[in-house]
Structure 1
């Protein structure tokens, strides 16, 4: 699962604080560093899913001014850089941060805001992301089939509350559920589930990203599920498949203790459970070994199902001539805060 991370402590990419207002007095209110990052769950038919971020706003509950941070492209030391990663010349304006979500999967995340100090307390959150019609830095996807670059619109609420407002050609992802910025560790991730939330807009040759496919999690309280997949197991799944389409391997995640015969597709089928998320099965050594990973999971019980027919599944329905099937399952897995749960697929 790929993630964009808002982390209030520590990270790889530092962002500059442009406007941060607070009417709190340091003698009466404590402050703490906060980090925010981003990550994603994968899709099969795109080679890029690029979202351009302009700013984030932490909205305090009760008294206090919103804490607003502009988001810029920087190097690992927090210095402004150009499109190629070279230092900006003196006097040049910093660039907004464009992120290919497909580069950040599993437990990987990219920081939008790092180590910015804000008052402790309860907050809601706004994330501003440029739409596909933005005149200078649009969000977009690249289609795998023919390499076309298509606009991506972020379906937000249009404006950020508490007077922060909105920007032209920009969507606002508003997280209405309150979260706590405490005096200890605050490392938040905005996680995009593209397999559920990225949709092609009928008749418009563009894509939209649904707000309901984005969630905010605190990495301090989450765990992971990961595992290896043998080449022989992958091959046996394809051999036993009756699908007429090219095979796409993925691991589907379900909440609770779910038996294999109750595991369904994202498309939804009667009496079958819809997945909570999905992870691609990737190789880093030219096919000698494969692996998958789900990062940033809240503690609880989960089940996973392996499929090599993810290409036959779609939130809009099973594709023509497709036959989706869960080939093997691991049920009743326990995830704990800070823990790594291992579940391999290696038995034929």
Structure 2
């Protein structure tokens, strides 16, 4: 079995360094299968955008059968900060421009880890190749109260999506420059494409409930166009299971609180069909 991680990004952050110590696979029947890393695996999730990914492990022998859950365990930290950080804090960090790195805490607890409840099958005499998608727009939140504020913590919630690598395709495209926040006075800030698994759905914000986007992607000016003094704004979405989706662009994404309902303005949208093994182009 092989397991990779990828990311749907969060606004403004420069790096999200997550330090993995082990992966726990929980079968429908039987004892958990735990894969302990010889050394802590540090992965920058913001470097794994679009179709980019990094393997947690490859070609690892796993008992055949049905599995119902994956738990990703992180290196503990925060012991000097006192409870509850001492039992929830990790050595993982999020980095913003011109700031000291902020520690990440797992609100569900380090013993539980980042829990992904999603069934998959490891075939007998076969292979399973899977990717865990972290949607950081959903996962990263700012906690309230002590000691979180005093120690500048952020929460890393288990906003995870598991996909079979043999069943996915990728999506990319460009955004009309007149729509982005740099050129549009109606925007509050934050250029992003939201992806919904119902092609008929009316686009909306993230609310931590049914109807949320399955993933999101940042929209940024390409390095080439910035160097040339032109304006090409692009997005990339990776690891979408084959099917038809509704995608929508907003320039208000910075004020999308993943735990509350927010009124976002979506300037452009389209239905798009993803095919396994293919990269689909869709401009907005």
Q: TM-score, normalised by structure 1?
A: 0.67
Asked if 1:67 is matched to 2:33, the reply is: yes
Post-superposition CA distance 1:231-257 (Å, at most 9, x none): xx22344444423x4x33211112212
Residues 1:221 and 2:195 aligned together: no
Superposition deviation, residue 157 in structure 1? 5.8
* 1:207 maps to which of 148, 154, 157: 154
Matches within 5 A, 1:122-141: 122-123=66-67, 124-133=69-78, 138-141=91-94
1:258 deviation in Å? Answer: 3.3
Aligned 1:264-279 pairs, distance under 5 A:
264-266=204-206, 274-279=212-217
Partner of 1:25: none
1:306 corresponds to: 249
Mapped contact 2:19–2:92 kept (Cα < 8 A): yes
- Unmatched 5+ residue regions in structure 1? 1-33, 73-94, 160-170
Alignment-derived partner of residue 122 in structure 2 = 181
Q: Distance in 2 between matches of 1:327 and 1:200?
A: 27
User: Are 2:177 and 1:234 equivalent residues in the alignment?
Assistant: yes
- What are structure 2's unaligned runs of at least 5 residues? 81-89
Q: Which residue of 2 aligns with 1:197?
A: 139
Q: Rg bigger for which structure?
A: 1
Aligned equivalent of 1:257: 199
Greater than 4 Å deviation, 4+ residue runs: 316-319
Q: Deviation at 1:343?
A: 0.6
- Give 1:163-174 correspondences, 5 Å limit: 172-174=113-115
| Number of residues of Structure 1 aligned to a counterpart in Structure 2 | 262
Partner of residue 344, structure 1: 283
Cα deviation, residue 281, structure 1: 1.6
Structure 2 length normalisation: TM-score? 0.80
**1:104-115 matched pairs, under 5 angstroms:** 104-115=48-59
